[in-house]
Chains A and B, each alone.
Chain A
Amino acid sequence: MRLSSKVTTLLILAAVIAIAPVFFPSSYYFRVGSLIFVNGLAVTGLVILIGYAGQISLGHAGFAGIGAYACALAPVHLGLHPALAALLGALLSAAIAYLVGRPILRLKGYYLAVASLGFGILVSMVLSNEAQLTGGPDGMAVPELGLRAVLKAIGIDLSNTEFWYAFSGLVLVIGAWLALNLYHSPTGRALRALHGSEVAARTVGVDVAHYKLVAFVISAVYASVSGSLLALQNKFITPDVAGFMHSIEMVTMTVLGGAGSVLGAILGAAILTTLPQVLTIFQEYEQLMLGLVMMLVMIFMREGLLPSIARRIRGRAE
């Protein structure tokens, strides 16, 4: 039995999500859990971009911003149901990713980093400058999804935090399932080939530009849906969701946990989401510790936490 197998990953994920609440002493833990799942979803998208295709983006929070503000704006201005608004946000993100990705993905390494960073900053700037529409830096309210009331009507009565824990968890499992399917598909193989070497992939007939774009668009949709979930859960949104720090956070979660593995990246999301909550005991030393953890993991576990640990365990077993 291998750890990377699709079914094992999904089973582990689903089991943890389902069993964890047994150990929750208060409903605050549901809140942290649902944040982990929301971040986990964005991070799963980045696994496709960073882990599979070997590209980098420091601007994916821009897509999360588009998804989040779609949920805030479309119901008010277009009269859409929030769920449809989230879908609209995802489509819009895909379209923008397609248009922006074409020229951007020709760049490599740090040049790609700065170009994607510029894109993210542009989005967050529009969101905070167009105050008449978006409420500016102070943010705006987001309408209720309404699913909780539907569940209540059919006899499933969940508190707000419980509902969002279950709902985001479900979306995350679906997202992980899709990403794992992609990994084993011809597209996934093509992505991994170009990750290894673009020149080599090209010589064996892989349309490098096309597949990079595919990975970019898919990851943008993941980020957008994650932004929508966050907005609907918080019922309030500010441009911070599209900010540079959020982009960095997303990439850090992915790489910290292990960009090559969906489960690893979600673990990364879990750790970086929980860390600030745990670090509150250090009070003023919080930032210091956060920086230290980021450096130590990347220095000593280059492939990320989960792959490094898995390798060590396997190494001992053999």
Chain B
Amino acid sequence: MPELLQFLLSGITVGAVYALVALGFTIIYNASDVVNFAQGEFVMLGGMITFFAHAAGLPLPLAALIAIIVTAAIGVALNKLAIEPARGAPVVSLIIITIGASIFIRGATQLVFDKQLHRFPAFSGDQPILIGGATILPQSLWVIAGALAVFICLWLFFTRTLIGRAVLATANNRVAAQLVGINTNYVMTLSFAMSAAIGALAGVLVTPITLTGYDVGLALALKGFAAAMLGGMGNPKGALVGGLLLGVLEAMTAGYVSSQYKDAAAFVVILAVLFAMPQGLFGRKSTDRV
């Protein structure tokens, strides 16, 4: 039995990482119907900037704060310089623009920082916590708590605040939103800033576990994207459940079936879910218009 529990804890840890990335996807998608493939680079920037600020002598919390603010600013710049000018472009163009942005950010990071792998210390030590014969690191609890906290904040934001509803309204119908007096440009800027900040926060939380380097973003973006689609794009609940499900699925496959094909198992399940529910587990229903 301890094995099962260990697999589960591992899956939840990794799943919380995916969930954090997927939650970042959610906000931008909600505001603009854009899936931002540069989301993984925000996570990478969060980790890298924190590491280098910390290495330069700043205390860890301050370094993390700087990383989140700088990344949020980069998110806003991405929106202003690349997404806004391309408004109305088809899905495939937007995919290429955001992938271009991610290559650009990666290229800039390797120039500004370096191409080595890095890690900074865990927030509350490395002493494993024993739970019924299985172990979990304190940092994993930080990641899980982070994912839950971001989820709750987003859920409250989208359902309880005026501005959150304005974001949803903008995604639904930009012109109508403008007509009822919503400043859609502001909404877009805000959602990119939030999304980038959440990505950077994810980077800060996970780096002590997963390590960071200039090219870790793409893999994270792919897994986060898959998790978000599994749960249903645009729904914070979907991002959280999708992420955790994906993580647990991988851990269970690695533990009980074959560690070689754990990623394959994850994608097979995603395909199966999408065939049965084309909008993901909690996705919005959409109807075609002529």
Contacts and interface: CB of A to CB of B under 8 A. Distances in A.
Contact of A121 (B97, B267, B274): B267
A121 B218 CA distance: 14
B91 A114 contact: no
Given A119-B271, A287-B110, A291-B103, 10 more contacts: A56-B95, A197-B290, A255-B96, A287-B106, A288-B104, A289-B107, A291-B107, A302-B86, A302-B89, A302-B93
Nearest to B34: A110
Contact of B274 (A111, A197, A256): A111
A120 B105 CA distance: 25
Interface string B217-232: 0000010011001000
27 contacts: A56-B92, A56-B95, A104-B271, A106-B275, A110-B91, A111-B280, A113-B35, A115-B271, A118-B267, A118-B271, A121-B267, A125-B263, A129-B260, A129-B261, A198-B288, A252-B96, A252-B99, A255-B92, A284-B111, A285-B111, A287-B103, A288-B111, A290-B103, A291-B103, A294-B97, A295-B101, A298-B97
Nearest to A102: B275
A107 interface: yes
A267 interface: no
10 closest A-B pairs by beta carbon, nearest first, are: A291-B104, A294-B100, A287-B107, A291-B103, A288-B107, A118-B267, A295-B100, A114-B229, A103-B275, A291-B100
B268 interface: yes
B289 interface: yes
Given A109-B91, A125-B261, A199-B290, A288 B96 contact: no
Interface of A: 50, 56, 58, 103-104, 106-111, 113-115, 117-119, 121-122, 125-126, 129, 197-200, 244, 248, 251-252, 255-256, 259, 284-295, 298-300, 302
Contacts of A115: 270-271, 274
Contact of B278 (A106, A198, A291, A295): A106
B225 A114 contact: yes
A288 B110 CA distance: 10
Given A294-B99, A302-B93, A117 B222 contact: yes
B279 interface: yes
Most central of A115, A129, A292, A299 by chain B CB within 10 Å: A299
Contacts of B271: 103-104, 115, 118-119
B85 interface: yes
A292 B82 CA distance: 10
Contact of A294 (B35, B103, B108, B270): B103
Nearest to A128: B260
Contacts of B95: 56, 58, 113, 251
A292 B99 contact: no
B139 interface: no
A299 B86 contact: yes
Contacts of B278: 106-108, 111
Nearest to A121: B267
Most central of A104, A114, A252 by chain B CB within 10 Å: A114
A256 B96 contact: yes
Interface string B71-109: 000000000001001100111110111011111111110
Contacts of B90: 302
A287 to B, nearest CB: 3
A299 B85 contact: yes
B100 A298 contact: yes
Given A125-B264, A199-B289, A299 B97 contact: yes
Interface in B30-47: 35
A51 to B, nearest CB: 10
A118 B275 contact: no
Contacts of A256: 96
A230 B259 CA distance: 31
A286 B106 CA distance: 11
A114 B274 contact: yes
A294 B96 contact: yes
B93 A292 contact: no
A122 B93 contact: no
Contact of A291 (B92, B102, B260, B264): B102
Contacts of B275: 103, 106
Contacts of A107: 274, 278
Given A121-B267, A291-B103, A110 B233 contact: yes
Contacts of B233: 110-111
Most central of B85, B93, B260, B278 by chain A CB within 10 Å: B93
A114 B104 contact: no
Nearest to A54: B90
Nearest to B229: A114
A197 B287 CA distance: 13
A198 to B, nearest CB: 6
A111 B110 CA distance: 32
B82 A295 contact: yes
Interface string B246-269: 000000000000001101100110
Contacts of B108: 288
